[in-house]
Amino acid sequence: MQTGFAYTKFADRLTSIAELSDADLELLTAMPSAIGHFAPHEQLLRRSDRPTRCCLLLQGYLCWKDDNDGQITSIYVPGDVPDLHTIVVPRLDARLTALGPAVVAFVPHAFFHEISSSSPSLQRALQLLGHAEASCLRNWIINLGSRDSLSRVAHLMCEIAVRLQAVGLAKDDRFASPFTQSDLALACAISPVHANRVIQDLRRRQVLRWQSRTITISDWQALSRIACFESDYLGLRTHAAPAPRRPPPSIAAPGEIATAG
């Protein structure tokens, strides 16, 4: 992980939801950052923390986990800044936790305030980021509230795949899955045992494979049908044929796997 290029991940994410000018991208290059590495299930932020910097995820996955019951309320992929809202309210009501090993760039709150006041379009992009987050949360509610366990898991898989692809990862519908089945269970509000059975079901239906910490979606159409997945809510700008629509019929080159989601 080249320290100097942390901002490019963020730029990828921003351009996935908003159109940015060269000047805007130039502003981003000024991003100061310190790199941090985290082990699986390690906590980046506790409820009692009052952070003065944000966590830009560079590699791996993060999630917000409720303090009491461990329920996962959202998952993040590289390019995301899970605690972006702390620039407004530095209070936390959950734990920011790593799912699998993760690499993070710490970015001072001040930086976001600066780019936001320097460029109206960047300010708007940050607002869009916040809006996309809320939209995701609503979708998560729908997932828990009105789908059975099979659809829930399928939906989460679809979402992760599309979000990874939006920042240039998960090519060939294949992505790293360093998280455990119990993590998945906490996200989908099912028991770990049942999570396992659901995955086996998905395997049996030949819609995905999950082996050696890698998930491969072998039948996107079937998976998204099971999940009732529609990617609109993610607010992505990719009007041109979203990658997942039509997976390349050719066999994926086995050498190239997204390393961190």
Rule CB under 8 A: choose which of 22, 39, 50, 145 binds its own copies: 145
Site for DNA contains 165 (CB under 7 A): no
Rule CB under 8 A: choose which of 23, 32, 131, 213 binds its own copies: 131
Name the 3-class secondary structure at 58: strand
Rule CB under 8 A: choose which of 21, 52, 130, 213 binds its own copies: 130
Q: Provide the mask over 51-80, with x wherever binding to its own copies is found by CB under 8 A and - wherever it is not.
A: -------------x-x-xxxx-xx------
The token duo for 161 is 């795949």
Q: Which residues contact 179 (CB under 8 A, 6 or more apart)?
A: 40, 61, 99, 100
Question: With the CA atoms of 114, 115, 120 and 125 taken in that order, what torsion angle do they form, in degrees rounded to the nearest 10?
Answer: -130
Q: Could you tell me which stretch among 138-146, 175-183, 196-204, 238-246 binds its own copies (CB under 8 A)?
A: 138-146
How far apart are the C-alpha atoms of 14 and 126, rounded to whole Å?
Answer: 8
How far apart are the C-alpha atoms of 261 and 257, rounded to whole Å?
Answer: 9
Find which of its own copies, DNA, none residue 148 binds, CB within 5 to 8 Å per kind. DNA
Q: CB nearer to its own copies: give 79 or 235.
A: 235
Site for DNA contains 228 (CB under 7 A): no
Find which of DNA, its own copies, none residue 196 binds, CB within 5 to 8 Å per kind. DNA
Positions 184 through 203 that interact with DNA (CB under 7 A): 189-194, 196-197, 199-200
How far apart are the C-alpha atoms of 50 and 185, rounded to whole Å?
Answer: 29
Query: How many Å separate Cα 152 from the centre of its chain?
Result: 16
Question: Which residues are registered as beta bridge partners of 108?
Answer: 53
Site for DNA contains 42 (CB under 7 A): no
How far apart are the C-alpha atoms of 25 and 225, rounded to whole Å?
Answer: 37
- For residue 196, the minimal CB distance to DNA (Å) is 4
Query: How many Å separate Cα 223 from the centre of its chain?
Result: 19
Site for DNA contains 43 (CB under 7 A): no
Rule CB under 8 A: choose which of 25, 189, 236, 252 binds its own copies: 189
Q: Which backbone phi and psi does 240 adopt, to 5 degrees? A: -65, 120
How many residues would you count in the chain? 261
Site for DNA contains 113 (CB under 7 A): no
Residue at token pair 């509610």: 141
Q: Which residues contribute to the site for its own copies (CB under 8 A)?
A: 64, 66, 68-71, 73-74, 85, 88-89, 93-94, 124, 127-128, 130-131, 133-135, 137-138, 140-142, 144-146, 189, 228, 232-233, 235
